[in-house]
Structure 1
Amino acid sequence: MRQLANILHLGVKEFRSLQHDYALLLLIIWAFSMGVYSSATSMPESLHNASIAVVDEDRSPLSGRLVQAFQPPFFRPPALIDLSEMDRGMDAGRYTFTLNIPPNFQRDLLAGRSPAVQLNVDATQVSMAFTGAGYIQSIASEEIAEFVRHYRASLPQQAELAMRVAFNPNLTRAWFGSVMEVINQITMLSIILTGAALIREREHGTVEHLLVMPVTPLEIMLAKVWSMGLVVLTAAALSLLLVVQGWLQVPIEGSIALFLLGATLHLFATTSMGIFFGTVARSMPQLGLLIILVLLPLEILSGGTTPRESMPELVQRIMLAAPTTHFVDLAQAILYRGAGLAIVWPQLLAIAMIGTLFFLAALRRFRKTLAQMA
């Protein structure tokens, strides 16, 4: 009972320390509110208001139809320019796309030849360039085919592809981005808060006070784990309810309680990582650099940004040792597909095992650090 009381009181002390750290409080509030919202809405759902210029050297009815086919809201009204202006406009960044229709394009097409239309793309705008090139190719192919047939109609298909989109019928990117950002913020802030709590005590000299008190390194570490983990868990739950479901109107299919259970186990691992980094770093700037080196691979290679199946097999195997890999699988299964405990228990078990190993490693490092300071 005395040990539990020590852990409780030390955890309350962490709350009081965090209460006076306005920078970290502001970071927590922004990360789980505007951070989630901006990440979910930063990428447009489709091509929007793209600038395009057309060099019409044919001046035929077909080339006129091609120019008129690019309409808002996908494209701005096309700018008709000369061939000499094409390179200058692209170099100056005035146009993302320039379409060059060659002379005698319509005549060659009706004669059965295969004339080429040149499309120049400003690839410095990567997402718009990739999406827009596909849109332009589709629009041009459809207009040319209808002109050759002399009527607008859909050709009968020999086989019909019936596509059914599960879990996200409208392919809304905000549904994916918002939940993944909550997961990323859980990982980032849990490491930052526990590491910063240890650095803060070292800078303020309160670690020496703890060394003369009847508390053990295990009690000190558990207090930091449960207190900072509770802060992040509460912020994540409020973000899911108020920002994801309320503000962004993203439906949650599964049990939030089961997700928070998995988040609790994940926080056990990530807060231990934060304490380990707090013992390695000697100042807040050093802690920030360490977190950047570890956090980016954890977020990018865990499957939250791109599917793990698209990564090299060696990377997939290495990332099985990271708790974020299993947490992302668990979160997507619960929040997107409504999975229950019978489906996600392997991920829960893996996170618990990895978290235990991380905790023991951090505890060993923490004891060694305190012994050197004594």
Structure 2
Amino acid sequence: MLLLAARAMDGPWLERHVLLPGYYPWAPAWVSRDVRAGVAIAGVVLVAASWPVGRALARATLGGAARVVLAVALALTASEWILRRGNRQLAGWRAAKVEFRLGRPDRQFGWVLLPSRATVLGPPRHPTLYAVDAWGDRAQGPQGAPDPGLPSLIVAGESIAAGHGVAYEDSFPALMVNDLGLQAVNVACGGYGSDQALLRLGDALGRLRRPTAAIITFVPVMLFRNVQDYRPRLALREGALVPAPAAEGFFGRLRLRDLLINEVRYLSDHGLRDATRLTSAILRESARVARQHGAEPLFAVISIGRPRTLDEHPEGALLRELFVEQGLPYALVDVDPSELLPWDGHPDPAAHRRIAKELEAALRPRLSHAQ
């Protein structure tokens, strides 16, 4: 079975089921090569072991089988204990992420940034100041909060929108508001899915009296994030978006299950269809909520690579389904790999300047038409 699976894991299969929904900005070089090889090797090992294992099982006694079951149970228990050491609230593979070093878990949004503080993070040679205002949003400084009465640009999304790895003034939201003469309200946060972006967008719109536009970022990895169940999220029930709690119960809270379900970057055909339907509904609702409050929505789709037409993008079919077929306004911005921060792969200041320029060009006509 594993050998057949390895044979099926060609480039298009990996791109569809693993690379696009699971990795940003691109898959590490080892993924395409080593995943297929690893599955094939596992298949060969199982085939080689099947004969001696089969003979051993044929001679197994009830007591021997019980000892094997006990050994497996103890190994799983020990693994769970190791994974729970240290931070009991957060899994170890999440606690070190920037969003949790700057923030805390939240029952509604999954996690939020801690308000009214400034923190320096990043490599020693490239430190970045992350200032968070009183509303819990990244801003120029930790003091004060947005003025609800000013015309505002709300930016929602993930780490690119939050300006991960660059100074606030170099991030595309800050650059855009300087050119457009608007107030920035940046509710983006690293690691967010589209549902979290929608919830934060709605929360900000409810506080502002003069929202002018809403920029919502999208990268394909948000497909996978939208179905992760280690956090509260939005789910699709009979065509409607409804709040869903984090996985509950004994098995739902196991770190081993969390690691397998939420961190193995793979979506089956069924999982991909469900994630796409859910994401489509979330994006539609994001545009509707923005317009309901008088803000012009624009989705910023960030893709890594040279400038290409939509159909030349590996995610082109997905973007066509999510945006073109739904009639949602979007701007597709290609970021050259040379414009990425070398230590973590996020857009550098030059990329943010170009993102801002292209989003402004797409947004200005829509604002003029709306007026």
Q: Same fold (TM over 0.5)?
A: no
Which structure: larger Rg?
1
What TM-score bracket applies, with the shorter chain setting the length? under 0.3
Calculate the TM-score normalised by the size of structure 1.
0.26
